[in-house]
């Protein structure tokens, strides 16, 4: 009774928050992932060991959300531990922090490990649905974008609808990025609720911002098809301004975005829930990637050097 599974980390390149309301978003898996390993356990329950490297306080602050998430995954998979329990260990190369898809990666990895452990032979689509249920424990009403990227990999165009739209955007080669970690653990549920409240109270202002966000998504999709990295960077900068306007950025995020651009990044923006967590800088080529990462690290912040457009075998 053993099983193992992985879930990619992710970077939302365009339209976090806007995606909750049906505005198209573009998300990419990154080259870091969480691994879950499942094996028999003497007590009739699921015993979780979280050995992921993480931002200080991340795992502690997310403990209750993680318990709810695991409960939802067990219920969705209809698992029964009356005879024998299972121990699941989380590890891997993905640093657990806000804005990097850490919760989705853990949900996907766990669902895959449990599927193998119990010989359920679930499809990627079924794994994705289970991970979406698990994400509810962390985010309340998730968009579904994180678990989709974590499950399938690659670069994905995503629209949240009753039947979500998920289209692969093919690029020839992965592109180097730098992610800068503010060190602040963000409460995505609170960020999403704040946007909803302000959207209701400032409907005209927000309607205009959301329309611009939608336009940026279509321009960015075309830029990826054209492999126009300078245009993608410019659109990332514009997207960050819109995220500032809906009040989900922070002084640390804004500082890191400015710093990355000062050192030559093609574009930079917050990524994920905002109010802390991570930002992302487009830095094609190892030389530029190193220069931007070094500048951020000199200011005392952690970085992650990875790539977008990383594909999984099979998938969409």
Beta bridge partners of 305: 178
Task: Give me the catalytic one of 50, 64, 124, 146.
Answer: 146
C-alpha to C-alpha distance for 110 and 197, rounded to whole angstroms: 34
HEC assignment per residue over the chain: CEEEEEEEEEEEEECCCHHHHCCCEEEEEEEEEEEEEEEEECCCCEEEEECCCECCCHHHHCHHHHHHHHHHHHHHHCCCCCCCEEEEEEEECCCECCCCCHHHHHHHHHHHHHHHHCCCCCCHHHHHHHHHHHHHHHHCCCCCHHHHHHHHECEEEEECCCCCEEEECCCCCCEEEEEEECCCCCCHHHHHHHHHHHHHHCHHHHHHHHHHHHHHHHHHHHHHHHCCHHHHHHHHHHHHHHHHHCCCCCHHHHHHHHHHHHCCCCEEEEECCCCCCEEEEECCCHHHHHHHHHHHHHCCCEEEEEEECCECCCCC
Compute how many other C-beta atoms are within 10 angstroms of the C-beta atom of residue 34: 28
* Tokens describing residue 278: 């991570």
Q: At what angle do helices 251-262 and 229-245 cross, to 10 degrees?
A: 160
Residue whose entry in the numeric block shows the structure tokens 């659109």: 235
68 is known as an active-site residue: no
C-alpha to C-alpha distance for 193 and 2, rounded to whole angstroms: 40
Of 260, 54, 178, whose CA–CA distance to 63 is shortest? 54
* Residues designated catalytic: 146
């Amino acid at each position: 009774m053993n099983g193992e599974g992985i879930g990619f980390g992710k970077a939302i390149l365009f339209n976090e928050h806007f995606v909750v309301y049906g505005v198209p978003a573009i998300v990419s898996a990154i080259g870091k992932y969480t691994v879950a390993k499942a094996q028999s356990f003497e007590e009739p329950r699921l015993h979780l060991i979280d050995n992921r490297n993480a931002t200080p306080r991340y795992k502690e602050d997310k403990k209750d959300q993680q318990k709810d998430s695991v409960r939802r995954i067990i219920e969705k998979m209809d698992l029964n531990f009356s005879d024998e329990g299972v121990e699941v260990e989380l590890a891997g190369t993905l640093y657990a922090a806000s804005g990097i898809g850490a919760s989705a990666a853990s949900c996907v990895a766990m669902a895959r490990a449990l599927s193998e452990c119990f010989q359920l032979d679930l499809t990627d689509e079924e794994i994705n649905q289970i991970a979406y249920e698990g994400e509810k424990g962390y985010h309340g009403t998730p968009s579904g974008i994180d678990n989709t990227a974590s499950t399938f990999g690659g670069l994905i165009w995503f629209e949240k609808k009753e039947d979500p739209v998920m289209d692969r955007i093919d690029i020839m080669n992965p592109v180097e990025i730098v992610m800068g970690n503010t060190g602040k653990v963000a409460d995505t549920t609170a960020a999403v609720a704040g946007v909803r409240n302000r959207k209701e109270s400032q409907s005209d202002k927000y309607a205009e911002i959301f329309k611009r966000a939608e336009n940026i998504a279509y321009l960015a999709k075309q830029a990826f098809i054209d492999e126009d990295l300078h245009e993608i960077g410019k659109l990332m900068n514009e997207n960050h301004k819109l995220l500032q306007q809906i009040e989900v950025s922070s002084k640390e995020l804004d500082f890191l975005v400015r710093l990355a651009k000062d050192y030559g990044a093609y574009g930079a923006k917050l990524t994920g829930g905002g109010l802390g967590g991570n930002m992302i800088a487009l830095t094609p080529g190892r030389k530029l990637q190193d220069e931007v990462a070094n500048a951020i690290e000199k200011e005392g912040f952690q970085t992650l050097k990875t790539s977008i457009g990383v594909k999984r075998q099979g998938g969409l």
